[in-house]
Homo-oligomer: A and B are copies of this chain.
Amino acid sequence: MNFSVAEENYIKAIWHLQRYHDDVTTNLLANQLHTRPASVTDMLKKLKTKKLVHYEKYHGFSLTTEGKKIALGVIRRHRLWEFFLSEKLKFDWDEVHEVAEDLEHVSSKKLIDKLDEYLGFPKVDPHGDPIPDNQGKMETSSSICLDQLELNRSAEVSGVGNQSTELLELLKHKNIRIGTKLEIKKRFEFDNSLEIKIRNTPAFTISEQLAKNLLVKHGK
């Protein structure tokens, strides 16, 4: 079956919200998609008839197995295009998301599988997020949130909590990107800010909000 741009955006948004919320709510989804709760309800009814979500009115909703499959297809396309834009067209990593938001809806299977091959079957996108393969399987990341990293333990930045230009702009300014090696030198109780050390550069502090939006992997 074939899905509309709107349907794909809803399905993908539900998938993302499910990752971090036990139950996804109508308001939450409306907020994520910059739309209204009433519109979400309308779409949920449609997605239910297409068997992409489980939905009982007033009692929440979640993706079906089929819904998850569709979501992973969209996410695969999104992240492959992001990789292409970054790697081949030399886009900055804070510019790729918006364009990929459109490209992800061009759904020729052949196009995407050939693109994947052309790119050398990349495993992660420019934000460190794993790219599903053509079966919908992807690496489960062993990343933890930076604010949970132990003091003085070396780690490597592996991902970001969201793709907002605001976040990515801040990271660019602080010279933090995927692969950056760092450790936490001190934790300030007052505001939970962290003193960070990157090799060969002076230490600096980052806010709690920023720490909560950075994923890291332990160094060996």
Residues of A within 8 A of B (CB): 85, 88-91, 95, 98-99, 102-103, 106, 108, 110-111, 114-115, 118
Contact = CB atoms under 8 A, between A and B. Distances in A.
Contacts of A118: 88-89
A114 B91 contact: yes
A111 B85 contact: yes
Nearest to A103: B106
A3 B68 CA distance: 32
Contacts of A88: 118
Contacts of A89: 111, 114-115, 118
A99 B91 CA distance: 23
A108 B99 contact: yes
Sorted from nearest, which 3 A-B pairs have the closest CB atoms? A89-B114, A102-B106, A99-B108
A124 B114 CA distance: 22
Contacts of A115: 89
A90 to B, nearest CB: 7
A8 to B, nearest CB: 13
A88 to B, nearest CB: 6
